[in-house]
Structure 1
Amino acid sequence: MAASGARAERIANPTAVFTGLDKISGEISTFEAPVGKTVKFGALSVTPRVCYSRSASEDPQTTSFVEIDEETLSKKVQRLFNGWMFAASPGLNGVEHPVYDVWLKDCKGGKSSDPLPPPVVTAQPDAKPGKGKKGKGPAPDAAAPDGTSPEPGDAGADFFDQPMDPNAPQD
């Protein structure tokens, strides 16, 4: 039997946030790029394909799959970078160009993909379960499909009428 740890849900975000450095002017800029759209930073075209983060209750981990192209002086486009960027480690997969540096700073705009907790349903003591039509349901002492009658306390027709024992062991 293999042990499995808890796995944090990733959140898909619609916008990636980058930081860029223009080495000629020394100017540092922060810019946003919608996922699937291309934005220009100097001679570079930056296109995030996905941008993932985690919920606020988890350790931060922001990643983005990014394509970065450069338009040369001869108007040719060449791919400079195609891969994952990690906001926690900007030096790991940031783009280092002779004139520009670009790295992932954050993702934003995503909604948590954590599922909502199931609703709490309480049984009414006088209500009996029905099958489709109002007032038509199994009789409280109806036989099970195998022909046996439910015993008090069994998971039979009168299960919900039994008081709960708070000291009973839980499975």
Structure 2
Amino acid sequence: MNIMQGRKGGWIMRRMVIASLFLLGCLMSLQVKAEEVSNPVATFAGLDKITARMIQFDVYINETVQFGSLQVTPRVCYTRPETERQEETAFVEVDEITLERKVRRIFTGWMFASSPGMNAVEHPVYDVWLVGCKQSTEVPSPN
């Protein structure tokens, strides 16, 4: 009986060691998500389809800039730390000023600088998309 318990105990011990090593390997392979860097300025590109004019403009977070009949308001603009693959994302609200002078929300959502076509504002006259996020700009601060 002692011999059987010894064999069974050794088998269980080996299984526990193997399972522990597997679990440890899995935990070590998980990447820890680094904290996103919050930026005070978002840079956008705007295209006027009538005149074929394209401009870049900087907007401070929670401030509104008008581009044609559109009002662009970034709420946050994040970049990843330099140790990760670079990605810049912004949560943006875009309103249209109608001919009746009413404000109509036409876009609320995330924009990605690396994929401008994914969530760009597509309007009959204007297109707007995120170019990037910045820590500073030459545009005077609203404060």
TM-score under structure 2 normalisation?
A: 0.73
Q: How many residues align?
A: 110
Q: Which has the larger radius of gyration?
A: 1
RMSD over equivalenced CA pairs, Å: 1.3
2:49 equivalent to 1:23: yes
2:105 equivalent to 1:79: yes
In structure 2, runs of 5+ residues without a counterpart are 1-22, 137-143
Which of the numbers 91, 94, 115 marks the counterpart of 1:68? Answer: 94
Secondary structure at 1:91's aligned position in 2?
coil
Q: Which runs of 4+ in 1 moved over 4 A?
A: none
Higher RCO (CA 8 Å, separation ≥ 6 residues): 2
Which of the numbers 32, 43, 52 marks the counterpart of 2:58? Answer: 32
Q: C-alpha displacement at 1:5, in angstroms? A: 1.2
Which of the numbers 23, 37, 40 marks the counterpart of 1:14? Answer: 40
Fraction of identical pairs, as percent: 54
Distance 1:61 1:19 in 2: 17
| Greater percentage in helix | 2
Which of the numbers 117, 120, 125 marks the counterpart of 1:99? Answer: 125
Distance 2:82 2:58 in 1: 21
Distance 1:84 1:28 in 2: 22
Secondary structure at 2:133's aligned position in 1?
strand
In structure 1, runs of 5+ residues without a counterpart are 111-171
TM-score under structure 1 normalisation?
A: 0.62
Distance 2:110 2:65 in 1: 17
Q: Deviations over 1:34-92 (max 9, x none)?
A: 00001101100000000000123321110000000000011011000000000000000
Q: Which residue of 2 aligns with 1:43?
A: 69
Distance 1:29 1:9 in 2: 31
Distance 2:132 2:31 in 1: 26
